[in-house]
Chains A and B, each alone.
Chain A
Amino acid sequence: MVRYLLLALAGAFIYLPMSPVIYALVDEETATSITIACERLLADYAIFRDHLDAEGFANIFTEDGELILGSGSHIGREAIRQNILSRPTPAIAHMILMTTIKVTPVDESNANGVSYAFVLNGDRPVTKGDAPIQMNGITSAVEYHTKFVLTKDGWKISRLELKSIFRGPGIA
């Protein structure tokens, strides 16, 4: 009897993560909270990157988080922080315009995301009162594949991979 019960439990552990049943474990209210938290992380990603806020940017990742850009993989908060600090200051005008965002809660502490963005990349800083940079169109359209995880400090990105899909004309 005990053996059968143990087998049943073991089976459930193998089956549940692969099954749609797992989604029932995340109630609607929780799913909404997860979605909002993850969407906020993607907004933070864009704003902190564009404003070269290295500390803010690194802290949206888990301690061992991975950021995969065209230039390569950056593993761990320190490497991610250095990626931002290595860029020229003051910040060259750069905008990550997040558009479509789809967050899929996996369970109460894991979620996946796919998001799209237009990227505008200038050749000089633009601050209040400066003339805007003339552009013939977008610099690129990109896709982000993201894994989110709930930590003791709230939701964080454990992995984000950038894929460039379209390249536009950019600066005039």
Chain B
Amino acid sequence: MKGNQRIFYLIVIATIIVSGKLFAADPTEIARVNAIVIACERLEHDYAIYRDRGDAEAFANIFTEDGEWGRPTTILKGRNAIRDYVAASADHPPEAHMQFTTTVQITPVDETTATGISYAIVLEAPIAEDGLPVTISAFQVASESRSLYKLTDDGWKIATREYTTMFVDPE
């Protein structure tokens, strides 16, 4: 084999190895899936932050207009019902509330639908007269939520969501 040929083959092999594109997937498909995953993960974090802050308007707006939010004893149907429920919760005595969203598994179904399972640990306690921080000894609740997400004219929204409380603080 001549020297120039040897160099040529080496460069070809090097290009394949270094580029690492032996198993290159369709970039358009990857981008599509990633966009859905990121959008739905953002909804999960919005859910936690807006709920913790008691921001009824923002919280309701992460649901579709006819979205359903499953509570332990009832299902709230529609943004208005969800907004009213969160607004009413804000009237209670001041309480520190933090939902730590942890594992989130998003499964795109098609262009406009996705499903998700997410876990959260919640810390909550009344805020005493001396203010924050509130002293606690353990987490209060660990729950699993299952959501259906839909792409709407206003972006991705939660169409249905229900949760199961798996673990609680005995106190």
Say yes or no: is B168 at the interface (Cβ < 8 Å to chain A).
yes
Chain A residues in 8 Å Cβ range of B168: 132-135
Q: How far does the alpha carbon of A145 sit from the alpha carbon of B149 in the complex, in Å?
A: 32
In the complex, the answer to whether B104 meets A43 with C-beta atoms within 8 Å is: yes
Q: Given the known A-B contacts A6-B6, A9-B10, are A150 and B23 also in contact in the complex, defined by CB atoms under 8 Å? A: yes
Chain B residues in 8 Å Cβ range of A38: none
Say yes or no: is B152 at the interface (Cβ < 8 Å to chain A).
no
Chain B residues in 8 Å Cβ range of A43: 103-106
Residues of A in contact, count (CB < 8 Å): 49
Chain A residues in 8 Å Cβ range of B11: 9
Say yes or no: is A14 at the interface (Cβ < 8 Å to chain B).
no
In the complex, the answer to whether B22 meets A109 with C-beta atoms within 8 Å is: yes
In the complex, the answer to whether B20 meets A2 with C-beta atoms within 8 Å is: no
Say yes or no: is A44 at the interface (Cβ < 8 Å to chain B).
yes
Q: Given the known A-B contacts A96-B103, A134-B170, A137-B138, are A33 and B30 also in contact in the complex, defined by CB atoms under 8 Å? A: yes
Residues of B in contact, count (CB < 8 Å): 42
Chain A contact surface mostly: mixed
The residue from B7, B162, B169 contacting A2, defined by CB atoms under 8 A apart: B7
Binds B, one of A63-71, A73-81, A118-126, A159-167: A118-126
Give, as a whole number of angstroms, the nearest-CB distance from B30 to chain A.
5
In the complex, the answer to whether A97 meets B7 with C-beta atoms within 8 Å is: no
Chain B contact surface mostly: mixed
Chain A residues in 8 Å Cβ range of B132: none
Q: Which of B140-166 contact A (CB under 8 A)?
A: 141-142, 144, 162, 164-166
Most buried by B among A1, A33, A128, A135: A135
Say yes or no: is B19 at the interface (Cβ < 8 Å to chain A).
yes
Q: Which residue of A lies closest to B164 (CB)?
A: A128
Enumerate chain B interface residues (CB-CB to A < 8 A). Answer: 3-4, 6-7, 10-11, 14, 18-23, 25, 30-31, 34, 37-38, 100, 102-106, 117, 119, 121, 137-139, 141-142, 144, 162, 164-170
Enumerate chain A interface residues (CB-CB to B < 8 A). Answer: 1-2, 5-6, 9, 12-13, 16, 25, 32-33, 36-37, 40, 43-44, 46-47, 93, 95-99, 107-110, 117-118, 120, 122, 126-128, 130, 132-138, 150-152, 154, 169, 172
Q: In the complex, given contacts A118-B121, A134-B169, what are 10 additional A-B residue pairs having Cβ atoms less than 8 angstroms apart?
A: A1-B3, A12-B14, A43-B104, A43-B106, A47-B117, A97-B100, A109-B22, A117-B103, A126-B167, A138-B139
Q: List 13 A-B contacts (CB under 8 A).
A: A5-B7, A6-B6, A32-B34, A36-B34, A98-B119, A118-B121, A128-B162, A134-B170, A135-B138, A135-B170, A136-B138, A137-B137, A150-B23
